[in-house]
Amino acid sequence: KAGVTQTPRYLIKTRGQQVTLSCSPISGHRSVSWYQQTPGQGLQFLFEYFSETQRNKGNFPGRFSGRQFSNSRSEMNVSTLELGDSALYLCASSLEAGVNTEAFFGQGTRLTVV
Amino acid sequence: AQTVTQSQPEMSVQEAETVTLSCTYDTSESNYYLFWYKQPPSRQMILVIRQEAYKQQNATENRFSVNFQKAAKSFSLKISDSQLGDTAMYFCAYDSNYQLIWGAGTKLIIKP
């Protein structure tokens, strides 16, 4: 069974641009969560989707958005990039609702904003 | 709001030794889940062990076990017979409303 796939693995963008990151969950998983990891702030929750609906959102500005498609694949978008958005973005998928079922993580997308 | 605290930024032990990583958390909920995740240099987050708060028995997975003290809100991870492959960042996490709340992590180095 294929694991969680995140694309691209690395990305370099310029301030002010926008970026879209993609996450393909494990087949059959319907819940997808996104996390931002930085040296200063650690791991922070961005949002969680289940059956195409956003069920929870972390404390991030509106520049951060996401969506989930009918095949459970998810994308997150960051508009008007700032230097502070440089981070490792991790996606996790799980079979059902909530993280009390095991969450499987992808290898992340390393975003660098210059 | 729930918080998770890992007070040991870095630890280093010799191969085959036993090491314990500390984690405390704060919550007003009575039922919840706690996790330890491992993040090796490859960056992929891997679940090490999971504990359900309503279960008094401490979870065990091979060389990994936890000491869950609900009243003290403490959730430490013990790694027995440590191996070089255990070198990684270890994160303690709390399950809250469809999201994980993370500690700052402990960098564990296993020396040969």
Beta bridge partners of A88: A37, A110
Query: Measured between CB atoms, does B64 come within 8 Å of chain A?
Result: no
Q: Edge to edge, what strands does the sheet with A5-7 contain?
A: A5-7, A19-24, A74-78, A64-68
Subunit contact A90:B45, Cβ cutoff 8 A: yes
Distances (CA, A) of B56 to A95, B19, B67, B108: 26, 22, 10, 27
Closest by Cβ to B102, choosing from A43, A88, A97: A43
Query: Measured between CB atoms, does B104 come within 8 Å of chain A?
Result: yes
Query: Measured between CB atoms, does A16 come within 8 Å of chain B?
Result: no
For residue A18 the two structure tokens come to: 């926008």
Query: Measured between CB atoms, does A92 come within 8 Å of chain B?
Result: yes
Subunit contact B44:A55, Cβ cutoff 8 A: no
Highest mean pLDDT range out of A87-101, B58-72, B95-109? B58-72
pLDDT on residue B66: 97
In whole angstroms, what is the distance from residue A94 CA to residue A4 CA?
10
Closest by Cβ to B43, choosing from A35, A42, A108: A108
For residue A62 the two structure tokens come to: 């509106």
Subunit contact B98:A55, Cβ cutoff 8 A: yes
Q: Which residue of A has its CA nearest to B53?
A: A100
Interval A51-109: pLDDT, tens: 999 998 999 999 999 999 999 999 999 999 999 999 999 999 998 766 667 889 999 99
Q: Which residue of A has its CA nearest to B49?
A: A102
What is the separation of C-alpha A74 from the centre of its chain, rounded to a whole number of angstroms? 8
List the single range of A48-52, B10-14, B16-20 with lowest mean pLDDT: A48-52
pLDDT on residue A101: 74
pLDDT on residue A1: 66
In whole angstroms, what is the distance from residue A11 CA to residue B80 CA?
39
Residues of B in contact with A99 (CB under 8 A): 33, 35, 95, 98-100
3-state secondary structure at position B85: helix
- Tell me which residue has tokens 């303690």: B92
Subunit contact B44:A88, Cβ cutoff 8 A: no
R_g over Cα of chain B: 13
Closest by Cβ to B43, choosing from A56, A88, A102: A88
pLDDT on residue A99: 60
Mean pLDDT of A12-38: 96
Residues of B in contact with A110 (CB under 8 A): 43
Residues of A in contact with B38 (CB under 8 A): none
Question: What's the 3-state SS for chain A?
Answer: CCCCEEECCEEEECCCCCEEEEEECCCCCCEEEEEEEECCCEEEEEEEEECCEEEEECCCCCCEEEEECCCCCEEEEECCCCHHHCEEEEEEEECCCCCCCCCEECCCEEEEEC
